[in-house]
Amino acid sequence: MIKQLSPRLIFIVSVVIFGAVMRLVPHWPNFTPIAAIALFGGTYFTKKYLAFILPFAALLLSDLIIGFHNSMIAVYASFAIVVVMGFYLRKNVKVSTVLAASVGSSIIFFLITNFAAWLGNPLYPQSFIGLIESYTAGLIFFNDGSYGISFFLNSVLGGVFYNTVFFGSFYLAQQKFPVLIRA
C-alpha cells in the first residue's frame, strides 16, 4: 500500500481534491473544475479505475453539499466520456491537445446535458425542432452578463482555466521534481 502512495499519486489526488473544493466556492454557473478534473484524471491516473472513481467521488461529494438534480445522469455520463478523452490524451499531452480536449469536453457536456433537458420535457416539442430549441436555449441561458457570459461559454472558459491550472501545475511540478514523472 505504501508503494501505491507515490509522490506522483499524492500530487494527482491533491489536484482532484483541490478541484472538488473549488466547485464549492462561489462561481459563475458552469465555470467549474469538474470537466478538468475528469480530463486530468483520465490523462494522469495510471490505473483507469482511479481515473473514474476519484473524479466521480469529487463530483458526488460536492453534489451532496450543493444538491442533487434531475439531470445528474447526463452530467455524470458526459464526465465519463471526458475521462475516456483523457485516456487518449495520455500519449500526446501538449498545450494544443489539452486545449482541444478542454473545448471538446465543454461541447460534449453541452450536447449531452441539453439533450437530457429536451428529452421528455414538455417545455420543448419532442421533435428535431424541439431539440434545436433546447440547444438554442442552452446557448443563451443566463446571457444577461450577471451570471458570466452564458452557461456554455462559462463552461468553455472554466474548462480552459482549470485545465491550464491542473495540467500546467503538474507540468511545472514535474520539471522541478522529476520523481513525479511516470517511469
Give dist(CA 178, CA 23) in Å, integer.
30
Q: What is the mean pLDDT of residues 59-85?
A: 86
Q: What is the mean pLDDT of residues 168-172?
A: 91
Give dist(CA 116, CA 153) in Å, integer.
19
Residues near 109 by Cβ (< 8 Å), separated by ≥ 6?
A: 35, 75, 78, 79, 82, 155
**In the chain, what are the domain boundaries?**
7-180
Helices (H), the chain: 7-24, 34-44, 48-66, 72-89, 95-118, 128-140, 151-176
Q: Is the pLDDT of residue 103 over 50?
A: yes
What nine digits make up the cell of 52? Answer: 473514474
What phi and psi values does residue 94 have, to the nearest 5 degrees?
-150, 170
* Lowest-confidence segment of 2-6, 50-54, 133-137 by average pLDDT: 2-6
Q: What is the mean pLDDT of residues 149-168?
A: 85
Q: Is the pLDDT of residue 1 over 50?
A: no
At 132-157, the pLDDT tens digits run 998 888 776 655 555 556 667 888 88
